[in-house]
Amino acid sequence: MNQQADSLPGVVSFAFSNLHPRLSFSESKVKTFFQALFTLYPQGPAGELSIVFMERAEHNQLHGEFLQDFRPTDVITFPSDPDENMAGEICISVDQAWEESVSRKIPFVNELSLYLIHGWLHLVGFDDIEKVERKQMRFEEERSLKHIEKMKAWPDFILAPIDS
């Protein structure tokens, strides 16, 4: 488990937990990614933003415990708690991102970044339960992905192959 908190002055601090044994990334590149995202959505919550990268089984268990749904999902977002100086927590299923990236024939880094964007959009107030809200969420996701591309702010996620 790799856990470290660093500040982004005046906006948020980060706590990274990489619970996926095959995932590697540079925390500084993920911070740069979020800095670019914050320029689009500066109204987000302040405090510590916890980012947790998980294996599918643990992610499904978390989904079941907190949302009473044990089916696989991609992102679980826990809301901010100003009393605890928490901007929120974004829990990502790395395995789901890998499968989706293969299925959709897109780079793994793009799919995993989309999950981070989706989590942040929830924290700034977007939802995707109703059809109209879902359409707005998809629009904001696309807008964010284009912005990250324009800013060249992609993280450097690498998923090592499974040992045979």
Residue 102, domain member (yes or no): yes
Nearest to 50 by CA among 91, 81, 83: 91
What CATH number has the domain bearing residue 66? 3.40.390.30
Q: By percentage, how much of the chain surpasses pLDDT 90? A: 77
Answer yes or no: is pLDDT of 44 > 80. yes
- Give the separation between CA 137 and CA 114, rounded to whole angstroms: 11
Residue 160, domain member (yes or no): no
Range of the domain at 93: 3-152
**With contact defined as beta carbons under 8 Å apart, do 116 and 73 qualify?**
no
pLDDT, tens only, 101-143: 999 999 999 999 999 999 999 999 999 999 999 999 999 999 9
**Residue, of 42 and 77, whose pLDDT is higher:** 77
Give the C-alpha distances (Å, rounded to integers) separating 105 from 8, 110, 117. 34, 11, 19
Domain count, the chain: 1
Whole-structure pTM over 0.85, yes or no?
A: yes
Residue 51, domain member (yes or no): yes
Type of residue found at 81:
D
- Give the separation between CA 164 and CA 155, rounded to whole angstroms: 27
pLDDT value at residue 6: 47
Residue 15, domain member (yes or no): yes
pLDDT, tens only, 81-95: 989 999 999 999 999
Residue 42, domain member (yes or no): yes
Q: For 119-130, give the DSSP string.
A: HHHHHTT---SS
